[in-house]
Amino acid sequence: MAQFKGVFMIQLYGGQQTRAAIVRWYLEELGIPYEFVVMDMKAGAHKQPDFLAINPMGKVPALVDGEVKLWESGAILLYLADSQEKMPEDAGARGQVYQWVLFANSTLPQAMTGEAKETQLPKLLTALDAALTGKEFLVGDTLTVADVAMASILSYAQMLFQIDFSPYSAVQSYLGGMTERSAFRKGIMGQD
């Protein structure tokens, strides 16, 4: 197991241009030591037995933290926030963090392709815009994993699906604020 100053170090498994970038952003925000294991996915490294022992689904990201092995980016974000004691104390606020992470990982991206892009997505973005109006962060007054999950998906929406956020000024300014964070630039944009 990888170590840092005699302590087991978190390992994040990913590949070039994968959703491992989302988790990397949060690890950078946390400022804790970690090893980013970039696998050769073109060569099928993520389908080899040693990686399948970490994630039997054969997908990235996956995280190893001592005895803990996890996969699914949203679950990994929530685990890190919890284990690093970054979740809100209030149960209702924690519920909102879960809500936005799940929305960002399922409902929102599902509406970004096909017919839903024309029918569903504008409604979701209008509601998101209202939720973000006058706010820098989704939950409370500090960055949570809800923001990491949401802003990652929004930036992928722009890059991969050419989704235009200009009709949604609060969404646009929220995303602009996130992209200015050095941890975002390192994690999502890969700028070291």
Ligand X SMILES: N[C@@H](CCC(=O)N[C@@H](CS)C(=O)NCC(=O)O)C(=O)O
Q: Are 87 and 79 in contact (CB under 8 A)?
A: no
Residue nearer to ligand X on the CB measure, 51 or 174 = 51
- Provide the minimum distance between the beta carbon of 5 and ligand X in the complex, in angstroms, as a whole number: 29
Residue nearer to ligand X on the CB measure, 61 or 187 = 61
- Provide the minimum distance between the beta carbon of 113 and ligand X in the complex, in angstroms, as a whole number: 14
- Provide the minimum distance between the beta carbon of 40 and ligand X in the complex, in angstroms, as a whole number: 12
Residue nearer to ligand X on the CB measure, 14 or 96 = 14
- Provide the minimum distance between the beta carbon of 68 and ligand X in the complex, in angstroms, as a whole number: 16
Residue nearer to ligand X on the CB measure, 154 or 168 = 154
Q: Which residue has the tokens 């809100």?
A: 88
- Provide the minimum distance between the beta carbon of 72 and ligand X in the complex, in angstroms, as a whole number: 5
Residues binding ligand X (CB under 6 A):
18-19, 46, 58-61, 72-73, 105
Residue nearer to ligand X on the CB measure, 19 or 181 = 19
